[in-house]
Amino acid sequence: MNYVSTGQGEAILLIHGLFGNLDNLKGLGQALEAHHQVIRVDVPNHGLSEHRQQMDYPSLAKAMVDLLDELELERVHIVGHSMGGKIAMATALAYPNRIISLVAADIAPVAYQPRHNAVFAALESLPLEGHTDRRFALAHLLAAGIDDATAQFLLKNLQRSGTGFRWKMNLTGLKSGYPNIIGWHNLPNEPQLVFAGPSLFIRGGDSNYVAAAHRDEILRQFPQAQAKTLEGCGHWLHAQKPTIFNRIVSEFIDKHTV
């Protein structure tokens, strides 16, 4: 799995969301690396990490722990946004002895309804061969109904090839794994996994990803959970309110540094 490690001290693992890469939480990493070792990862099927067909939270959690083993890190703080938040939660639930504290940014440990169908359709219909101008790709996504900010974010996955562009991410693998990505595995009718360590859930005040209806499920799986709301921002809270987001995460981790 591709990663970047900076700084020294007690380690923190940062995990990006769907269609992202390790640069998404770079600002947070820079805020943390003065006192911590910060590891930012490309999740499998993203960035420069390996492509795989299996895309579910138990296997992604194992991938994170395998990386910790590779880096000879016994315990870390773990922070994730959106899908990355679910990976962070899954890791804490399955390997609680490896996690000091957990921060989940604008995501809950529940299953969601599909909300990326238009994005997949726009990406799959984009002609990659024979075009060398990113403006063509941007125009295509905008015409498909993708807003400008999301389109610019998605196009960071484009990489030039000899005859046009190709995707860095494994678009086929992400689409086939999408039901697992929006789903969840630690359900009430299954054997229960619980992370009893310090947990912080940060939501955007204008986002609907974390709602009051999710409170019981959060506390059932993360009984020590605290919650913060960042007013005036949506799902991309780390990009919309970076200063306050970085401060909240930094203070929480510092409070629980061993």
Q: CA 92, CA 102: separation in Å to the nearest integer?
A: 7
| Of 81, 78, 84, nearest in space to 106 by CA | 81
Reading the block at residue 222, the tokens are 């993360």
CA distances in angstroms from 142 to 119, 136, 150, 152, listed in the order given: 11, 10, 9, 10
Active-site residue list: 82, 235
Please name the amino acid found at residue 60: L
Residue 32 in contact with residue 4, Cβ under 8 Å? no
Name the nearest CA neighbour of 187 among 234, 220, 151.
Answer: 220
Look at residues 81, 61, 63, 79 and name the one whose alpha carbon lies nearest to residue 71.
63
Enter the tokens of residue 185.
């595995």
